[in-house]
Chain A
Amino acid sequence: MFEIGRICVKLAGRDAGMKCVIIDELDHNNVLIDGQTRRRKCNVNHLEPTNQSVEINKNAPAAEVIRVLKELGIEVFEKTKKAAKASERPRSAKKIKEKLVKQPVIEKKVKKTKKAEEAVVEAAPEEKTETPKE
């Protein structure tokens, strides 16, 4: 069941839930795995085999593992190492908040009917006295 080329899912650790291929059998308890997980030794109790298996050489390099898994549809994302020095890491640009500028209030021009115009004309002398208070 745990032979070279068997696709498994890791059950424990940081890589739990990720798919991997068995590349080498170290002893009756441990195997070497690679794929979406890190390339390392793993206990057979921490793996759950699937019904898929692949033809792969013993101790295949990482590039070949990625190619073989891609044919099955399992995508392996490139692992980039974080730069040790903080000065070498990419810095995100500072977000500058735009100051909101108050825009002047524009009075909407409402279409008035004839009846409304007459009412406005009648009330005009009253309106003139009201506006300076505002």
Chain B
Amino acid sequence: MPAPKFRSRSLRRVHRVTPGGKTKKYYIERKPSIPKCAECGKELKGIPRMMTSKSKNAPKSAKRVSRAYGGFLCHNCLKQKLKAEIRASN
């Protein structure tokens, strides 16, 4: 039986072969899921799947796209929103 701290399913079990030829079990933490567009639900690009322990110290530019509503809306939804806003104000 694995030790109590390793029984959690937030860790995934991976069997790897060591250089010596033995198969060893590794407990690796799971990465967060891919972020989705708030409007259409498509997967957003340009955002790496980083653990919060790493993203905390990473620069802001490494966590999102350099565009308005960068990590929130996809480029198509942003275009639609901007067009609607401009045509309403015209």
> Which A residues contact B (CB, under 8 angstroms)?
9, 11-14, 16-17, 48, 50-51
Instruction: Report Cα–Cα, A16/B83, bound state, in Å.
Output: 11
Interface residues on B, range: 10 to 19
Interface string of B52-90 (1 = CB under 8 A from A): 000000000000001110000001001100110011011
Instruction: Report Cα–Cα, A9/B89, bound state, in Å.
Output: 12
Instruction: Report Cα–Cα, A130/B46, bound state, in Å.
Output: 70
Are A16 and B86 within 8 A (Cβ)? no
Cβ 8 A contact of A9, one of B66, B67, B75, B82: B82
Are B86 and A9 within 8 A (Cβ)? yes
**Beyond the given A12-B75, A48-B83, A50-B86, could you list 7 further A-B residue pairs with CB under 8 A, ordered by the A residue number?**
A9-B82, A14-B67, A16-B82, A48-B87, A50-B89, A50-B90, A51-B90
Are B79 and A12 within 8 A (Cβ)? yes
Instruction: Report Cα–Cα, A14/B65, bound state, in Å.
Output: 9
How close is B83's CB to chain A, nearest CB, in angstroms? 5
Are A48 and B82 within 8 A (Cβ)? yes
**Chain A residue with minimal CB distance to B78?**
A16
Are A11 and B83 within 8 A (Cβ)? yes
Q: Which residues of B contact A17 (CB under 8 A)?
A: 68, 82
Known contacts A11-B79, A12-B79, A16-B78; A48/B68 CB under 8 A: no
**Chain A residue with minimal CB distance to B67?**
A16
How close is A2's CB to chain B, nearest CB, in angstroms? 14
Q: Which residues of A contact B78 (CB under 8 A)?
A: 11, 16
